[in-house]
A and B are shown apart, each in its own frame.
Chain A
Amino acid sequence: MSDPIRDLKRELLAAAERQRRSAPIATGLWGRRRTPRRILLVTATVSIAATLALVVSAPWSDSPGLLENAKAALTASPDTVRHERWEVTSTSTEAACTLTRGPSELWADTTPPFRWRLLWRGLPMLEEDVLPEATEPDCWKGITYELGGTSKPVCTATGCEPTLRFIAPNTISAAGIEPRFLPDPVGGLREAIDHGLAHDEGTTQLGGRTVERIRFDPPPDCDADQACRPPIYLYVDPETFYPVEIHNPQFRGVSSVTRFLTFEYLPRTPANLKLTDIRAQHPDAFETGSP
């Protein structure tokens, strides 16, 4: 008996299998296949945006006043450049090490096409930078990248502008990192508050200062691989509601604390816009098509 729906499913599954087998190795932070799993998890601890984006909405929240204020603090007016500087201290119980990586620094224009530039000091994002002999990535000191791009792709007839990487002494090349993997610690917080994931836990003390604590819980039907983590805690300044620290409790043997050294909105002046533009920072660099 001819069943087109079953036949189409068979074709799709065969195509899925072909697609899976031919998937590129280095497609981005979480797209790599050969990189040890542990690296990805540790890297994920600094990317709360990605973590929270994986968390499915649980429709509850309370203290909307505080949460609304926190959301507003994370929402820039269109004429600003968001500037974040942070460091991450991670502890691995399995590898028995604690170390701080950073500071990393991000300048992000809040006006389309949302140009950004990142100075990353952390775990490798590209597979070619992973040392083949490395066995305990949780204890690696980290690597420095300078990356730049736009959050909304700028496309022409010849294709879309890739994420760029500056390689000393004077080369700019396509980085092979998708813009959606931009490691911005606050990238997903607004959305997470919007989706009712945030829970105000009131005022507490942190490093001798008073802060507000916001908890982000995983949903009951979370994805076992990534989103079923323990709750993530965001500490915000009670006056400005700017982020102070993000605590990722231990998950698969690694915990981390992201500490904000700077969080501010700069006026959108030519000088500040230049900070978001990797080409403007290296006007004499040669551009190549691939790394």
Chain B
Amino acid sequence: MKHEVRRSDTQLLMEARTCAEPFGVFYERHFASVLAFFRRRVAGPEDAFDLAAETFAAALASVPRFRPGPEPPQAWLFAIARHKLNEALRHGRVQDEARRQLAMQPIELDEEAIEIIETTALAPAVQLLENLTPAQREAIEARHLDERGYAEIAAALRCSESVVRKRVSRGLAALQAQLNEERTS
């Protein structure tokens, strides 16, 4: 049985200089986080997807110049993402310079596609939720995913409303801390 060794991101980007396939692996590994990054910052899933596409196109165009450094390649990728977001905010629309430069075809988004984008953008957040304590996760899921009231959740969990509020508040703070860490990493 053949076991494929997981290639590091640096290795993928170095290999992508001479071969297309490693960039595909790099894309699959990081697309959801980049999409989620934009989804939290722009109003619609279409804009988030366009920004993510533009980010990966710019990253691909920069691959020949990529040089491994002290920071992990994700930091390089998110630096491009932040730049693309600022550019979009400055111009009031998502730029397509990198995609045009690479002669990429625009991707049409129908209802089904938007649903996939939304689910994918949510996936990293679900992963973050898994890092919370079970009590905090349960409280946040009940309050923010199931949209139940505090009194109802307190009754179900057999604790006071103030305990539920505290769990939700602490869980949200922990999520915020994780997101901040992700942004600066």
Contact = CB atoms under 8 A, between A and B. Distances in A.
Interface of A: 1-5, 7-9, 11-20, 23, 27, 31, 53-57, 178, 180, 191, 194-195, 221, 223-226
* A7, A13, A16, A57: most-surrounded residue (chain B CB, <10 A): A16
A56 to B, nearest CB: 6
Given A16-B63, A20-B19, 10 more contacts: A4-B107, A4-B113, A4-B117, A5-B31, A12-B27, A15-B102, A18-B102, A53-B68, A54-B68, A55-B68
B20 A16 contact: yes
Nearest to A21: B20
20 contacts: A2-B108, A2-B113, A2-B116, A4-B109, A4-B117, A5-B116, A8-B49, A8-B53, A8-B107, A9-B27, A11-B104, A11-B105, A13-B21, A19-B64, A20-B19, A31-B64, A54-B68, A194-B70, A221-B11, A223-B10
B121 to A, nearest CB: 10
Nearest to A225: B14
Contact of B68 (A7, A9, A56, A225): A56
A132 to B, nearest CB: 23
Nearest to A27: B64
B133 interface: no
Contacts of B14: 54, 223, 225-226
Given A4-B49, A4-B117, A20 B102 contact: no
B68 A12 contact: no
A223 B21 CA distance: 16
B81 to A, nearest CB: 15
Nearest to B106: A11
B116 A3 contact: yes
Interface residues of B, number: 43
A19 B60 contact: yes
Contacts, number: 100
A5 B27 CA distance: 10
A290 B159 CA distance: 77
B24 A5 contact: no
Given A8-B107, A11-B104, A11-B105, A23 B64 contact: yes
Contact of B23 (A13, A178, A225, A226): A13
B104 A20 contact: no
A55 B23 CA distance: 20
B92 interface: no
Contacts of B24: 9, 12-13, 16
Contacts of A5: 31, 116-117, 120
Contact of B70 (A1, A19, A57): A57
Contacts of B8: 56, 221, 223
A2 B65 CA distance: 33
B107 A11 contact: yes
Contacts of A226: 14
Contact of A191 (B23, B69, B103, B104): B69
B168 interface: no
B28 interface: yes
Given A8-B53, A12-B60, A13-B23, A20 B18 contact: yes
Contacts of A191: 69-70
